[in-house]
């Protein structure tokens, strides 16, 4: 995109919208209160099968009983659905849930996210077509199949009212002992993984769904799972450029909406010992400045051990924003994280220009996917027709028949 080459505006210029920011985005941004802007950065998990279902989990975490009341209270930018939060029971139920959540956010529609990579990470199984995972698609050597698979998955998510997928995985799985990526990656050769990632991003866009490449700067060469520990990857900058960077660069070339950070330490890219999620040299230096990405940077889940080792939950959220993140995913202590970021903006630790930058990117993502002015309403009958349709199952069979 042309904006990649333009210099970063000085803070004093932050009152004039950056070139290429749609007028509608600026109009929405101008009307937002400080609290709404901070809310926009968050994507929590809400508990229960319906927008108006009460759950003690919601009460304990958010001080209100239902998902709809949490959305009204905190005005988050989005929500993410999980089976373990009782969000995924049936096709008509998910449609009613996403429609109910959108209704609770009338001023700015929500990003409704899911981790639907297919294969090992499939949060909407068994509702959606059982598509092969990335390693199977990678083994075909045919990026057009990655595109078709993503289009199928994207169409099914969209029919459910889900508008953002945390896929594709852009990691290059160079370590056979990797406990967390493995078959979730398209393969172990960056030259083969990169075109697969770009094609998947295009496939999600064909379906009208936002796409997220993950886990930057690369989670492929680790033998520690960042859900439970903090992996350290010793790639030099040159190795990173050759091995880890190409699929992310390809995703950016395909206009990927978001890139998710990894809770991994890469001491040769940032000697501080902080995980990439909290690293300005990595998120701003490498991802924004070197690769020219100006979309949404999402953290990986902030409830994972890899990011909580060193700082408290309020500090983690603030440091992620300072490092360059825009979307704060699943903070374990929502009010601490929200209050922490709000206080940091009020004290000037996070400048209002920096906050506006993140909010602008999130609103622009919504604008690009037709979600800024009015959320689309999902239709349960349509969803039942689209999900697991004979045509979609044929695509799955075709890919499996081509796998090596």
Q: Which residues are catalytic?
A: 227, 300
Question: What is the 3-class SS of 41-93, one letter each residue?
Answer: CEECECCCCCCCCCCHHHHHHHCCCCHHHHHHHHCCCEEECCHHHCCCCCHHH
Note whether 261 and 297 are within 8 A (CB): yes
Maximum alpha-carbon separation in the chain: 59
Strand-pairing partners, residue 118, are: 121
Ramachandran quadrant class, 273 (left: phi over 0; alpha: psi -120 to 50; beta: rest)? left
Radius of gyration of the chain (CA): 20
- What does each C-alpha distance from 140 to 13, 150, 263, 401, 404 come to in angstroms? 49, 15, 30, 9, 6
């Amino acid at each position: 995109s042309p904006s990649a080459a333009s210099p970063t505006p000085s803070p004093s210029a932050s009152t004039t919208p950056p070139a290429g920011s749609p007028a509608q985005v600026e109009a929405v941004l101008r009307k937002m209160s400080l609290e709404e802007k901070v809310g926009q950065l968050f994507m929590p998990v809400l508990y229960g099968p319906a927008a108006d279902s009460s759950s003690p989990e919601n009460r304990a975490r958010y001080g209100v009983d239902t998902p709809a009341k949490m959305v009204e209270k905190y005005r988050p930018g989005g929500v993410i659905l999980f089976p373990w939060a009782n969000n995924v029971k049936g096709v008509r139920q998910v449609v009613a849930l996403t429609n109910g959540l959108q209704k609770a956010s009338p001023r700015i529609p929500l990003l409704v996210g899911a981790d639907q990579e297919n294969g090992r990470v499939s949060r909407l199984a068994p509702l959606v077509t059982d598509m092969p995972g990335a390693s199977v698609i990678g083994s075909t050597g045919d990026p057009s199949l990655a595109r078709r698979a993503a289009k199928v998955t994207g169409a099914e998510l969209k029919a459910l009212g889900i508008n953002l997928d945390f896929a594709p995985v852009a990691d290059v799985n160079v370590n056979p002992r990797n406990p967390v990526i493995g078959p979730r990656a398209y393969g172990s050769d960056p030259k083969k993984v990169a075109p697969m990632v770009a094609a998947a991003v295009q496939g999600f866009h064909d379906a009208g769904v936002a796409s997220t490449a993950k886990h930057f700067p690369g989670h492929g060469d680790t033998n520690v799972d960042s859900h439970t520990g903090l992996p350290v990857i010793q790639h030099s900058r040159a190795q990173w450029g050759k091995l880890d960077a190409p699929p992310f660069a390809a995703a950016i070339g395909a206009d990927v909406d978001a890139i998710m950070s990894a809770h991994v330490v890469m001491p040769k890219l940032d000697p501080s010992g902080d995980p990439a999620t909290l690293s300005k040299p990595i998120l701003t230096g490498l991802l924004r400045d070197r690769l020219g990405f100006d979309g949404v940077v999402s953290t990986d889940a902030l409830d994972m051990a890899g990011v909580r080792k060193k700082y408290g939950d309020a500090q983690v959220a603030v440091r992620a924003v300072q490092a360059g993140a825009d979307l704060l995913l699943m903070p374990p202590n929502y009010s601490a994280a929200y209050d922490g970021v709000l206080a940091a903006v009020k004290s000037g630790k996070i400048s209002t220009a920096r906050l506006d930058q993140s909010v602008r990117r999130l609103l622009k993502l919504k604008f690009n996917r037709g979600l800024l002015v009015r959320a689309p309403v999902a239709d349960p009958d349509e969803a039942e027709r689209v999900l697991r349709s004979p045509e979609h199952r044929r695509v799955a069979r075709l890919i499996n028949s081509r796998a090596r």
